[in-house]
Amino acid sequence: MNIFFVSLGCDKNLVDSEIMLGIVKEYGFTITDEEKQADIIIVNTCCFINDAKEESINTILEMGQYKKNGKLKGLIVTGCLAQRYKQDILNEIPEVDGVVGTKKYDEIASVIDEVLKGSKSVKIDEDVNSKHQKYKRINTTGGYFSYLKIAEGCDKHCTYCIIPKVRGNYQSRPMEEVLEEAKELADNGVKELILVAQETTLYGKDIYQEKSLHKLLRELCKIEGIEWIRILYCYPEEITDELIEVMKSETKICHYLDIPIQHASDDILKKMGRRTTKEELTIMINKLRREIPDIALRTTLITGFPGETEENHEEVKAFVKEMGFERLGVFTYSKEEDTPAAKMPSQIRKPVKVKRQKEIMELQQSIAFEKSEEKIGDRLKVLIEGKLPDESLDDYGMDSGNVYIGRTYMDAPNVDGYIFIPTRAMIMSGEFVEAVVTEARGYDLVAELVN
């Protein structure tokens, strides 16, 4: 029985998909990477913003076509969209045979069995705070890096966000469980751990009565085989001196932090339900740069939040210019039902949101390109991810020859830049090398291998 998975949305969702892959494989099913060969297709969905919902729905409809054009016997929808809109999915997409919520992944094999017997199967736990058992994962990221989910849910309740309603309150995983999984990943060849959660910086507060991310990091650094540890989703108000100190003292921890700030105007930050002011953000960013001079900071912003004025927008642009983030992404505000922000007056028209998004991204591009130029001459450690195919050389502005592609400590997978190393030497994927930057090409770098 062949099972095909589609994982949409964030890297936290990908971890859930990998858990389900592990469950169905242990149950005896075969995993296929060919949709047309699938007896069962599972779509793990996202519903964070409208674009994510549209992508999820379009993917479900696309996969449903294999009931007509392939050998597909069942289509199962899992994840956030399933948790939030289970009845709508069943009512409006007749091709769907099973719906599995965010706390019922452990029942995915039994759902497949029920669907194969011709039954519609719905597994939704209305208590999104309930916990499920730990299962072995199948790493799908190529083997050299892996996401490590250290907590689930969120207590922040930002006014624009639906996540607490589909993922529940903040729940840290016990440290021994996280460390056990990290060791298993290392034993299977993973060299870079990327810590993820709705909010990594609060890790341990619920079960150990104190923020314990720094303690977890020290234990993770002891694991043989792990060479890089990267931290994503750090809320600025929760960054502690202990976290900064462990980043400074442990060589395995990348000098990289992903810190979503969402805005820089105090008026809008308050409406968003954020816990920081512009002054507090400025103080924290300056402190990080002072304590860790080579740190690479990534952030995200939202344009067009209800009530955002042109003055608020200009304030954000001035802040972005002043802070000089190495990496930055911008989303247009998405009006999500059942959130306080959706009911706020002065909703912004889409063309205005998009215009403001474009302006910030154009500003950020010039900042990022300038920072890339500043890296010329630097000697950097690079994780090689593979060799650039000949047919892709032109796409990446490379002339010809043996070109390897990799990432530095400044680059998280799939969201940041790459570093290209033309060389006649043979380098294995997953190998770390030293290289000197010779050229900057926008967000990407070109480097020469150090012999």
Using an 8 Å Cβ cutoff, are 357 and 331 in contact?
yes
Q: Which two tokens stand for residue 353?
A: 């949101």
For residues 209 and 4, give the distance between their C-alpha atoms in angstroms, rounded to a whole number: 41
Residue written as tokens 């060479």? 227
For residues 92 and 306, give the distance between their C-alpha atoms in angstroms, rounded to a whole number: 31
Provide the total of helices (H) and of strands (E) in the chain, helices listed first: 15, 19
Check the CA dihedral 269-274-280-283 and report its sign.
negative
**Amino acid letter for position 178:** V
- 234 known member of a binding site: no
- 254 known member of a binding site: no
Residue written as tokens 């909703």? 347
For residues 107 and 27, give the distance between their C-alpha atoms in angstroms, rounded to a whole number: 11
For residue 268, the SS3 value is helix
For residues 99 and 229, give the distance between their C-alpha atoms in angstroms, rounded to a whole number: 35
For residue 42, the SS3 value is strand
- 47 known member of a binding site: no
Nearest to 205 by CA among 151, 248, 241, 246: 151
Using an 8 Å Cβ cutoff, are 240 and 204 in contact?
no
> Which residues are within 8 A (CB) of 388 and not within 5 positions of it... i.e. 6 or more apart?
396, 398, 403, 404, 405, 420
According to DSSP, residue 294 is labeled T
Residue written as tokens 């060969």? 37
**Amino acid letter for position 14:** L
DSSP labels, 361-381: HHHHHHHHHHHHHHTTT-EEE
For residues 13 and 169, give the distance between their C-alpha atoms in angstroms, rounded to a whole number: 17
Residues annotated within the binding site for [4Fe-4S] cluster are: 10, 46, 80, 154, 158, 161
Residues annotated within the binding site are: 10, 46, 80, 154, 158, 161
